[in-house]
Amino acid sequence: KQEVTQIPAALSVPEGENLVLNCSFTDSAIYNLQWFRQDPGKGLTSLLLIQSSQREQTSGRLNASLDKSSGRSTLYIAASQPGDSATYLCAVRRRDDKIIFGKGTRLHILP
Amino acid sequence: GAVVSQHPSRVICKSGTSVKIECRSLDFQATTMFWYRQFPKQSLMLMATSNEGSKATYEQGVEKDKFLINHASLTLSTLTVTSAHPEDSSFYICSARVNDTYEQYFGPGTRLTVT
């Protein structure tokens, strides 16, 4: 059974700092891993998707890495801004196409 | 990019009534769609896999008679919450898998409140 864990559950950092969110998963037989952003009461915004054969993906100030063998992924956010405040969800897509989500990290960027 | 819509975005219903939520793939065909539920401050939990032309498969602990899924066409899946109770109040999100590429895209979600 695939389990996805995200650490920390919540994080507050001053504006401008770089930060790392962590995600771990128990079964390395994955199709891909995806990071989402969710604002309160809203749906999901896809940030980065890493295929199982890839090691990292970058988009603007965001960089996501994947180490499938160790069951870990990190989302690096550079030069954080108040607008980055949201819940960040890590999700693993299994080979049967089912997507398993972590519980998320609630990020608060302090102005 | 591929777009998935959900209707309604918000719905309030009385306890004991049934509510239907639609999930549509707007610019692609999707034989397979997935339904998720998210309780406040919790993560998304997969409820069921919807397959066009066949019965849905439900995850353990999800009552198939309470959450009726119909996938009658390649662009539409519906989730009907029957005899809704306040504990069914939640955020329901669907995703659709593109037939050609197997990519998955999520809908914007439907917030259900049962009074």
- What is the structure's pLDDT at B42? 86
**Distance between first and last Cα of chain A:** 41
List chain A residues with CB under 8 Å of B44: 44, 89, 91, 101
CB contact under 8 A, B106 and A46: yes
Per-position DSSP letters for B17-81, written without gaps between them: --EEEEEEESSS--SEEEEEEE-TTS-EEEEEEEETTS--EE-TT--TTTEEEEEEETTEEEEEE
List chain B residues with CB under 8 Å of A44: 44, 93, 106, 109
Say if residue B21's pLDDT is above 90: yes
Return the number of other C-beta atoms located less than 10 Å from residue A68's C-beta.
17
> pLDDT band at B45, cuts 50/70/90?
very high
User: Any residues with CB less than 8 A from the CB of B75 and at least 6 apart, and which?
Assistant: B24, B25, B26, B28, B29, B30
Chain B contact for A44 (CB, 8 A cutoff): yes
Q: What is the per-residue pLDDT across A25-69, written as a single tens digit (0 to 9) for each?
A: 999 999 999 999 999 888 899 999 999 999 999 999 999 999 999
CB contact under 8 A, A99 and B108: no
For residue B26, the distance in angstroms to the closest alpha carbon of chain A comes to 17
Which of these, A20, A24, A40, A48, lies nearest to A85 by C-alpha position? A40
Which chain B residues in 2-41 lie under 8 Å from chain A, judged by CB atoms? 32, 34, 36
Three-state SS at B115: coil
Residue of A43, A98, A101 lying closest to B109 (CB–CB): A43
Mean pLDDT on A2-25: 96
Q: Determine the residue among A1, A34, A44, A105 to mutate to test chain B binding: the one whose Cβ has the most chain B Cβ atoms within 10 Å.
A: A44
CB contact under 8 A, A103 and B42: yes
Measured distance CA(B61)–CA(B34) in Å, rounded: 16
Say if residue A74's pLDDT is above 90: yes
CB contact under 8 A, B104 and A103: no
CB contact under 8 A, A97 and B102: yes
> pLDDT band at B102, cuts 50/70/90?
confident
- What is the structure's pLDDT at A110? 95
Three-state SS at A9: coil
CB contact under 8 A, B46 and A104: no
List chain A residues with CB under 8 Å of B49: 97-98
Measured distance CA(B4)–CA(B105) in Å, rounded: 7
Identity of the residue numbered A92: V
Rounded to the nearest angstrom, the gap between the alpha carbon of residue A21 and the centroid of all alpha carbons in its chain is: 7
Residue of A44, A46, A93 lying closest to B93 (CB–CB): A44
